[in-house]
Amino acid sequence: MIPGSRSARIQALVAEQAALRGARVGVLDVCTAAVAALPVGGAGMSAMSRDRASHPLCSTDSVSQHLEELQLTLGEGPCVDAYALGSTVLCPDLLAGELQRHWTVFADAALEAGARAVFAFPLRIGAVSPGVLDLYSSSSVELDAEEVADAMAFADAATSILLDARISETGVPFDTHAAGTDRPDASPFDDLGGYRAEIDQATGILMVQLDVGFEEAFIRLRAHAYARGTRISVVAADVVAHRLRLPPDTAPSDIRPPETRPPDEES
């Protein structure tokens, strides 16, 4: 297939989803179009950055929403690896032994959440990489070459939308169609980017409270969420509302991302 024709077809599918919502094209439309076109059950997208807290942008359903939060809380998973490596990460079966060893916590947690296969596609144009598109299936499935190419085209479409919205590569929130607006068709998964300000604010509060740098403060926030089995956005909300204060001598749990390398390169 001619690359240009693929791109045009994918853009048309995304525009069709926006028309069904009666809204301008956004990253949620990329996710819903990808689910409709590919053999997957759901899709999610997260804004990623090397110098600011990453955060979910949008998801098509509760499972994909949970997967986005889960990976950012644990600091491991296909999304994390795809961003770090700058390349596609395909996981057709999370029960595979090498994946269980590579993602010692995420693999079982994702299976429990209802995902059997997960595919992650970095959003990238040149040196700009604002995030990752994740697709999941409740059953084991392999994407063929054409489906992988289509998924990459969906990721390219998402990147263009984010850049058109004047997003910097540090990950300022992209989509203005937030849940809780006056749009009657607003979806609760329409703009998970609303979590971003709260996560950033909570990280800043912890930097002052604990007298640590940004990375350490975010690790503490993430570790607290992981240790209590809750979402990082919930912990961030508690910190911002002063319902939670971490003691200065609290050591972060060892949940830093494992050395990132493609699963098939593991020994």
Q: How many residues does the chain have?
A: 267
What percent of the chain shows pLDDT beyond 90? 41
pLDDT tens per residue, range 22-48: 888 889 999 999 999 999 999 999 988
Element holding 36 (H helix, E strand) = helix 27-37
CA–CA separation, 88 vs 93, rounded Å? 15
CA–CA separation, 6 vs 156, rounded Å? 11
CA–CA separation, 192 vs 105, rounded Å? 23
CA distances from 248 to 205, 221, 251 (A): 12, 13, 8
pLDDT tens per residue, range 181-219: 333 333 333 343 445 567 767 777 888 888 887 777 777
User: Does residue 112 or residue 50 have the better pLDDT?
Assistant: 112
pLDDT tens per residue, range 88-103: 999 999 999 899 999 9
pLDDT tens per residue, range 126-183: 777 889 999 999 999 999 999 999 999 999 999 888 776 643 333 344 333 333 233 3
CA–CA separation, 166 vs 164, rounded Å? 5
Contact 130, 167 (CB under 8 A): yes
pLDDT tens per residue, range 48-60: 877 666 788 899 9
Count helices and strands (H / E) in the chain: 10, 5
User: Does residue 87 or residue 257 have the better pLDDT?
Assistant: 87
Backbone angles phi, psi at 56, to 5 degrees: -65, 145
Residue 122 is predicted with a pLDDT of: 95
Q: pTM for this structure? A: 0.68
